[in-house]
Amino acid sequence: MRKGFTLIEVLIVVAIIGIIASLAIVGLAPTQMKGRDARRIGDLRQVQTALELCFAKKQQYPVAGDWATLKTSFTTGNFCEGVGVNNLPNDPKSGQNYYYTYNSATTPTSYVLAAILEDANNAAFQGSYSGAYAGNGTAPTSACSAASGTGKVYCLSL
């Protein structure tokens, strides 16, 4: 007699492993969402620091109508060049963006940075934290209010 496993036994083991793996993947989805939100908040704080470095050098914030234009402000030969920041981050989820707007003065002295968080119950929205705007929306305006859309907008402003 030969010792070993039958085809049925191997198929059952593979099916059980597949079921366990699918349950693990489904269980990790909320953790991944919270991780992306934490990265968004961290990214905005880093960009805030970069903007303050730029302001210290130029005495104004970049004039940029969107995130892509703001990113180019920090590359060689542009407005914030030489502050030690060469690249700004992108949102960790494709299809989503960070937002930047500035006061409409000739020499901008204030700005709003924003990101749409996936977790509507994120701790950043709890309590009296003044940097969080808990309205629904997509692209924020200079007052960190938002147009219609989904998700909650997290804002940092100065």
Is 134 within the bounds of a domain?
yes
CA distances to 59, 102, 105 from 53, rounded to whole Å, are 10, 16, 20
Is 1 within the bounds of a domain?
no
pTM of the model: 0.73
pLDDT of residue 20: 94
Structural domain count, the chain: 1
Is 77 within the bounds of a domain?
yes
Using one digit for the tens of pLDDT, what is the confidence trace for 86-113? 888 999 988 888 888 887 767 788 888 8
Taking 70 as the pLDDT cut, the residues of the chain under it are 105, 126-151
Tokens found for residue 45:
């704080």
Using one digit for the tens of pLDDT, what is the confidence trace for 27-36? 888 888 899 9
pLDDT of residue 107: 77
Is 101 within the bounds of a domain?
yes
67 and 98 Cβ atoms separated by less than 8 Å: yes
Is 95 within the bounds of a domain?
yes
